[in-house]
Amino acid sequence: MKKTSRFFALVLAMGLISVMLASCTKTPSDSNTFKAIAQEKGYTIEDALAQFSNYPEFKEVFIAYPSGHPFQIEFYVTDNADSATIIFNNQNNKIESEKGSVYSGASSNGKNYAKRTMTSDGKYTMVEYIENTLVYVPPTDSDNKAAIEEFLKELKY
């Protein structure tokens, strides 16, 4: 009987952990928070929505980059979570197709978000969506990774 009880306790615990992990959610940041963090770091901020005038799913688009433009961080607000998910999947496929011979990466998924990072042949890139927002870092020298990840940590992405 003790073996059976332990087995069921283990199965129950694993089931609860699975449910908890599957229900993980994140709260999206907004464009004002993105701009405030960029401004605090002395980054240039551009409103790039006009570049996407043919894409009505984009409601806000901001690009931030430090002096000398060694990298950029793009922030998008879309009309709904489905649009952000589609854009994320397209960018994720692009990242995957550009994989070089030497690469490492990570991905995470939750109920309302997904994130993908990759370092490949000395270049770092990432994309993440949370609900109807999306953050994208085009490929940049991996030397910039720490500064980018610090920015994203403050943004909670």
The number of residues in the chain equals: 157
Indicate which CATH number applies to the domain containing 141.
3.40.1000
pLDDT recorded at residue 98 = 86
Please report whether residue 3 resides in a domain.
no
pLDDT recorded at residue 2 = 57
Rounded Cα distance between 137 and 131, Å, is 18
Could you tell me the sign of the dihedral formed by the alpha carbons of 148, 140, 135, 68, in that order? positive
pLDDT recorded at residue 45 = 98
Please report whether residue 87 resides in a domain.
yes
**pLDDT digits 0-9 by tens, 34-54:** 999 999 999 999 999 999 999
pLDDT category, 15, cuts 50, 70, 90?
very low
Please report whether residue 36 resides in a domain.
yes
pLDDT recorded at residue 102 = 85
pLDDT recorded at residue 13 = 45
Please report whether residue 57 resides in a domain.
yes
Residue 59 domain boundaries: 25-155
**pLDDT digits 0-9 by tens, 60-116:** 999 999 999 999 999 999 999 999 999 999 999 999 998 888 889 999 999 999 999
Task: Indicate whether 124 pLDDT > 60.
Answer: yes
pLDDT recorded at residue 18 = 46
DSSP 33: H
Choice between 8 and 73, residue whose per-residue pLDDT is larger: 73
Element (H, E) at 47: strand 44-47
